[in-house]
Amino acid sequence: MSENPLPNRKSPRLKGYDYRLSGAYFVTICSYQRGYLFGEVADSKMVLSRAGAIAQERWLDLPNHHSVGLDAFIVMPNHVHGIVILENDGGPRAANARVLPMESPQGVLEAQPAAGDVARSSIAGSLSAVVGSYKSAVTRQLRRDLNMPALKVWQNRYHDHIIRTRESFEKIQHYIWTNPGCWERDRYFSED
C-alpha cells in the first residue's frame, strides 16, 4: 500500500462560514513562488510592469463580471492586496450579522452568516469564485500577451480576512495604501 504523496492541507477559510455573504473582505493573492512579476517599488511607489498593469486592469474589471464593489487595492511586486465588497442581494441570511455592513456604490450592504457548514468550493457568487475568476483572467491574458502558454502566475491559494468593524476596515485601507512605503519590511519582501 502506498501512502498519499500529497500533503494533507487544511482549508484557510473560516469553517462554517458562507463566503457568499454580502460584506467586505480583505484578500491577498501571491504570485507563483512569490516571484517579482508585477513590477518594483521605487521611492516608496509601485512601478508596474506589463504584467502588473494587466493585474491592475483585471482587478478594476471585476465589478463588470461579478456582484462586487472594490475599495482600496494595490498591486505589489509579488502580490495583490485588495478589499472586495460582495453585493449578493438575495443571498443567504441568518439571525445575527458577522460581516460589517459596508457602504458601496450601490448603498449599504448588510450580511449575516448562513446556518451550518457551507461547502468551500467555488460556489457562484462566493469570494472564492471572484478570486478564481480574477486569477484566471490575469493568467489567460498574460499567457496570450507574452506568448507563454505554460506561464504560472499565481500560488494556488489566497489569504482572506472577513472585515467585521469600521475600525478594522480603516486599518486595512491604510495598510494597503501605505504598503509600497513599507515594502522592505513587508512579509512578502525578499532581497533575492
Tell me, yes or no, whether 186 lies in a domain: no
Q: Distance (Å, rounded) from C-alpha 159 to C-alpha 187?
A: 13
Residue 54 located in a structural domain? yes
If one counts the domains in the chain, the total is 1
- Residue 59 belongs to a domain: yes
Residue 137's SS3 state is helix
In SS3 terms, 4-70 reads as CCCCCCCCCCCCCCCCCCCEEEEEEEEEHHHCCCCEEEECCEEEECHHHHHHHHHHHCHHHCCCEEE
User: Is residue 10 in some structural domain?
Assistant: no
81 located within any domain: yes
Give the pLDDT means over successive 10-residue stretches in the chain (192 positions). Answer: 56 67 93 94 94 97 93 96 84 41 43 38 81 96 93 93 93 95 80 67
Is 3 within the bounds of a domain?
Answer: no
- Is residue 90 in some structural domain? yes
Could you tell me the CATH number of the domain that includes residue 93?
3.30.70.1290
Residue 187 belongs to a domain:
no
Q: What is the pLDDT of residue 94?
A: 29
Tell me, what's the pLDDT at 62?
95
Sign of CA dihedral 131, 156, 152, 76: positive
How confident is the model at residue 187, as a pLDDT? 76
Structural domain boundaries, residue 30: 23-180
